[in-house]
Structures are given as structure tokens and as C-alpha cells.
A and B are shown apart, each in its own frame.
Chain A
Amino acid sequence: MDGVSFTRRLFTLIGLVLLQVLFLNRIALFGYVTPLFYIWMIVRFDSSMSRSSILLWSFFLGLIIDVFSGTPGLNAASATLLAMFQPGIVKLFVSLDRHDVVVPCSAVMGSRPFAGYLLFVTVLHHTVYFILRSIPLGDWTVLVLKVVFSTLLTFVFMLVAESVSSGSGLKR
């Protein structure tokens, strides 16, 4: 299967789901700032994967988080939307002359483009997530605050994850 084995993907998925529902969902700074770090899995899908399998993995990742968080469809919808645009967003941040497989990480993309990519992806996902969650839309300022601060928190988590994975060399 596409580069990384199915089993390994499955373990990543289980690990991220457990981390999200057991620990991160409990974080609710000021009542609404929650890191949605589980999108790390979608962030790291490389360009060798077919778009259909990216969509399916992301949909099920979101759906399983939903089952445990009591929010049917919310994470599934926002994760699937992110998965649809992830390959295109990666291309925005990589120089055009590359034809080989692009793994989204700082070693391949360079740390500044990678950070930009992370921020772009997170803002997109969190905006969709919080808009869907706050329907019917009432207070725009609260919505913007939720998006901004949760994005920052998720972004920090992802930077830590990136430095751990690139430092240990376990993940490519």
C-alpha cells in the first residue's frame, strides 16, 4: 500500500484517536480553546497516496473521534473537507520542480514553508469545524476567538510533534 503500510496507518489512527478523546478533548481553556491535534494524520499524508484513500482515512478518523466525543458528523465533515484540499495545499508550499514523492515534513519542505503549510491547514480545518459546531451562527466574535486560539494551540502541538518525529528519526 502507498508507501506506509496499512497496519502502521491503523496504529497511527488508533493512537491519535486515543490521544484526542482521552486527553486533548478534556482541555478547554477559557471554555472553548481545544486543540484538535488528530488532524496531524491528515497533515502527514504524502503525495504517493491516492486521493480516494486520503479521503477514506480522514473520514473514518473523524467519524471515530465523533463516536467518542458525542458529536455525530462534526469531525467527519471537517476532516473530509481538509482531506479533499490537503494534496493541493501541499503543492502550494513546495517548489514546483519537484517530481518525486513529497512527504509533508520540515526536512523535505524546509521549516518555514512547512510551518506555513501547518498553519494554513489548521486554519482551514478549524474554521470549518467551529462554524459547523456553532450553527445556528450567533456570536461571530466568539467564533473567531475559538478559531484563532484553538488554531494556535493545535499549531503548537504539531510543532512539538514535528520536532519529536524529525529528532528521533523514527518517522521519515
Chain B
Amino acid sequence: MPNLDATFSALADPTRRAILARLALGEATVMELAQPFEMTQPAVSRHLKVLEGAGLIVRRVEGTKRPCRLAPDGIAGVDQWLAMLRQALAKNYERLDDVLATMQPEERKDRP
């Protein structure tokens, strides 16, 4: 699993999230990514470097091009973390319900 600090700072930028959404549709070159985002190729390259460093995308060499695509493991790592945190809050409060019930024994008797 990639370093989650790097992953989250990579995801904090809306352009990089948009690039990831574009790459979800399939592999793309820097030139193909630069067009819809109306960005220069060096600017796109900088974003790609951050995403690559965070383990969210992988790049391969094809002649002079370096097309990039989503790194399934990187996304899965984030996704696992997301799911864990969402569940953690809900789980905490379910547990708190139980703790509160033991603190209120007289109220419990009133319930069916």
C-alpha cells in the first residue's frame, strides 16, 4: 500500500482528481490530458509526477511517449482507508450506544 500521506495530498488537488477521473476511462498521454484541462504539458507533467509518486498512477514507455494509467493497487489502498474511516465513525457511535445503555440501567428496563 502506498504512503497515505502522499496519497491524500495528491488527492487534495481538484485538477489531479479530475486527471484521475479521466484516466479511469483509459490510458492517456500527457498531450491527451493537457487538452481537456487547458493546461500546458509541463503543468500536466508536474501533476502526473505527484500522482505517480503517490502510487496512484503508473506510466510506461512507448517510443517517445509515456502514457499513464490508474494504478489499481493505489486506488484500492485509498478505498480501503476510506471505507475504514467511514465505518470507524459509525462503529464508534454504535459502541457508544452500548456504553450509554450500561450507564442508564434504569432506562433500559422501560424498553421492550
Q: Do A and B bind each other?
A: no
Q: List residues of chain A with CB under 8 Å of any chain B CB.
A: none
Q: List residues of chain B with CB under 8 Å of any chain A CB.
A: none
